[in-house]
Amino acid sequence: MRLGPAAVSTGVVFERLDLPGQPEVRARPENLTESCQCTALAEGGVRVSTVEHLLAALAGLGADNVRVVLDAEELPMLDGSARPWVELVERIGLRVQPEPRVYLRLTRLVRAQAGDRWLEARPARELSLDCAVEYDHPLIHRQRCVFVNQPEAFRRSLAPARTFGFLRDVERLNAAGLALGGSLDNALVLDDFSVLNPGGLRFPDEFVRHKTLDLLGDLALLGAPLLGRVNASRAGHRLHHALVERLAGEDGCLERVSFARPGEAAAVLEGLAIPNLQSA
Ligand SMILES: [Zn+2]
């Protein structure tokens, strides 16, 4: 796959090079589709899946308009974090575009809930995320991550955090013939007491940092940066999608605003990159 520039107001668009006519799938709330523990999009019957970590990297670095050309349905998992995407975008560079960036300003509280798991978005001057997770595991227990979206903070605090899974689930999935590509190279894997990855954790709270990264990527489906504070308690992709659909679908809860001050114009990737990124 490769990343390239797109015109102002395009947002992120995926192009399937492997299908006749090279159909496009836009990263938009109405294209959210059924998926298994990831974020998948479909438009006109064409699917693109596992988009959330790339979308998080683009949102974290402030890249608004990007064309993603790929020759498969699924994006590469890489190391399970957004760090390789950040390195790729930084190698290409960003270009400031001549139009002011458009933001989505929340006008009131919007909530999504499933049992004791919930997400709440409320008006604020900038995008901030406050996520909490709770797992009955000695390395996790309760963790909380508060993140204000700024490129440097994203690069340092969220991008390196990897997706994680439990060995018992991996064994169950393998028995069912699924997740065969999953390995210690593209996820943190935990047994009942410890991390199996030889290098250990990148942060003691890598788990909640990754959940925060996932939320940032899923919110990027709104098509423009959100101005609001989002609190999440034990949420996951399914609940993130419910919130995104509610924000996009409920009349009057989002207002499009832009600021004419320099430095707030939309940015675009400058060139194409075709590195030998291999899906693990
Ligand atoms: Zn993830």
Mapped to the 3 state alphabet, what secondary structure does the chain carry?
CEEEECCCCCCEEEEECCCCCCCEEECCHHHEECCCCCCEEEECCEEEECCHHHHHHHHHHCEEEEEEEECCCECCCCCCCCHHHHHHHHHHCEEEEEEECEEEEECCCEEEEECCEEEEEEECCCCEEEEEEEECCCCCEEEEEEEECCHHHHHHHHCCCCCEEEHHHHHHHHHCCCCCCCCCCCCEEECCCCECCCCCCCCCCHHHHHHHHHHHHHHHHHCCCEEEEEEEECCCHHHHHHHHHHHHHCCCCEEEEECCCCCCEEEEECCCECCCCCCC
210 Cα: distance to centroid of ligand 1 (angstroms): 6
The pLDDT, as a whole number, for residue 102 is 87
User: To which residue do tokens 């190391």 refer?
Assistant: 79
> Contact, 183 vs 78, CB < 8 A?
no
Nearest to 23 by CA among 11, 33, 31, 15: 15
> Which residue in the list 53, 137, 141, 237 is annotated as catalytic?
237
Bridge partners of residue 232, in order along the sequence: 119, 131
Q: How far apart are CA 222 and CA 55, in angstroms?
A: 11
The pLDDT, as a whole number, for residue 182 is 58
> Contact, 258 vs 64, CB < 8 A?
no
The pLDDT, as a whole number, for residue 259 is 73
The pLDDT, as a whole number, for residue 179 is 56
pLDDT per residue of the chain (280 residues) written in tens, 0 to 9: 899 999 988 999 999 999 999 999 999 999 999 887 899 999 999 999 999 999 999 999 999 999 999 999 999 999 999 999 999 999 988 888 888 888 999 999 999 999 999 999 999 988 999 999 999 999 999 999 999 999 999 999 999 999 998 888 877 767 766 554 557 888 999 999 999 999 999 999 999 999 999 999 999 999 999 999 999 999 999 999 999 999 999 989 999 988 765 444 444 444 333 333 333 2
Choose the CATH number for 2-269 among 3.20.20.70, 3.30.1700.10, 3.40.50.880, 2.40.170.20.
3.30.1700.10
55 Cα: distance to centroid of ligand 1 (angstroms): 11
The pLDDT, as a whole number, for residue 184 is 83
The pLDDT, as a whole number, for residue 276 is 35
Sketch the domain layout of the chain as residue ranges.
2-269
* Exposure letters 101-127 (e unless 16+ CB within 10 A, then b): bbbbbbeeebebeeeeebbbbeeeeeb
Q: How far apart are CA 80 and CA 52, in angstroms?
A: 11
The pLDDT, as a whole number, for residue 35 is 82
| Residues, beta carbon < 5 Å, ion ligand 1 | 163, 214
37 Cα: distance to centroid of ligand 1 (angstroms): 8
pTM of the model: 0.91
The pLDDT, as a whole number, for residue 20 is 97
Q: How far apart are CA 64 and CA 8, in angstroms?
A: 8
237 is catalytic: yes
> Contact, 160 vs 83, CB < 8 A?
yes
237 Cα: distance to centroid of ligand 1 (angstroms): 8
Q: How far apart are CA 177 and CA 171, in angstroms?
A: 10
Rounded to a whole number of angstroms, the CA Rg of the chain reads 18
92 Cα: distance to centroid of ligand 1 (angstroms): 23
Nearest to 126 by CA among 206, 81, 63, 62: 62
77 Cα: distance to centroid of ligand 1 (angstroms): 9
Residue 98's Cβ-count burial label (10 Å; 0-12, 13-18, 19+) is exposed
